Structure 1
């Protein structure tokens, strides 16, 4: 495509990520994305990405390879018998480290939160992930803290974490932008690790059937 084409493509991604984060996915037009990126070509999204879905998939892929490499490093470094907190940390820290690496203001967490809030977006978010990288795939009764938690409950809780993590990170990202943030992305990461570990290992006090339904999104950052 050449350097000019690469720069134009990145400008469109930056523009779309910001506008989607600010206003939502469905209300932002391809034309407004092109104009915000400084392009006179109102068909730039179709030219560079083949259309709306291609643009969304390109946005969802941003940073994913780096996070997967970092996650693989942390998983490789786990002890032979890791605790639940160790496993959760290996999945959450690559995400908060990635957010910390972005320029201020960044829009990544708020964009993904917007994506997860609409049915079509949630499907795209889950489809864009590699199944082996999802936290729910590595949570098993082999972890001592989860020995008494039924598999169906574990799967439901792991999926519930998606909304919690995205919501907290989107809120902190906004606070970083307006200068009101307290703490750092590192402290956010460990807050989420502690909260997720507690949620996953909490005792099951009453049988339930609702978790047999497919939750709206998975935790797969």
Structure 2
């Protein structure tokens, strides 16, 4: 087996483990076992560290996500002031990625976990790969179109919005419930619900 094949096996195992167990809790030994590697040091040999393995796992899906996010960002900018159009540029690519396969679903769960505290990861390489998608530019447009509110509340709402969208898309894609909404209706409904979250009356 080539080094490239081994690296991909480790990346795939890491995607599953980080998504299922959370980034801090996933065991490198378990990842190595899931990848079918007998060498306990395989992760460090091929990637150098847990964080570099995480970056490699995120890079593949970020590269898939970015073109679609930027395409929809451009369309949203054709509708000045339309908050829902900006939010759709976040929702639609995420749902499409989740439905493209298990790797996309795992990616979304990992990103939701990384952003769970409402802040970008402090590790430079991890932050860089997350920022390499068009998602941050979409969020900037959403912020521009949000109603006036103080900065603390705005950050809180965006944090809740991001987690809600990522987990909703990932959860839907891994269920086979025949009663679930079709993809287009799900996207439209999720966009509508997310927009309502940001337009909710500002508490005193």
Q: Distance in 2 between matches of 1:140 and 1:21?
A: 28
Partner of 1:164: 164
Q: Distance in 1 between matches of 2:163 and 2:50?
A: 24
Structure 1 position 198, deviation (Å): 0.8
Q: Is the counterpart of residue 108 in structure 1 residue 107 in structure 2?
A: yes
Give the stretch that moved more between structures: 161-170 or 11-20: 161-170
> 5+ residue gaps in structure 2?
none
Structure 1 position 202, deviation (Å): 2.0
Give the stretch that moved more between structures: 44-53 or 71-80: 71-80
> How far does the alpha carbon of each residue in 1:67-104 deviate from its partner, in whole angstroms, 9 at most, with x for none?
11111111223325251111111122111111111159
Q: Distance in 2 between matches of 1:25 and 1:172?
A: 21
Q: 1:117 to 1:9 in 2, by over 3 A?
A: same
Q: 1:186 to 1:103 in 2, by over 3 A?
A: farther
Q: Distance in 1 between matches of 2:52 and 2:107?
A: 17
Q: Which secondary structure state, in structure 2, belongs to the residue aligned with residue 204 of structure 1?
A: coil
Q: Is the counterpart of residue 62 in structure 1 residue 60 in structure 2?
A: yes
Q: Distance in 2 between matches of 1:183 and 1:30?
A: 37
Q: Distance in 2 between matches of 1:80 and 1:190?
A: 17
Partner of 2:140: 137
Q: Tell me the C-alpha RMSD between the 2 structures.
A: 3.1
Partner of 1:217: none
Give the stretch that moved more between structures: 117-126 or 86-95: 117-126
Partner of 2:202: 204
Q: Distance in 1 between matches of 2:103 and 2:182?
A: 13
Q: 1:42 to 1:97 in 2, by over 3 A?
A: same
Q: Distance in 1 between matches of 2:198 and 2:173?
A: 25
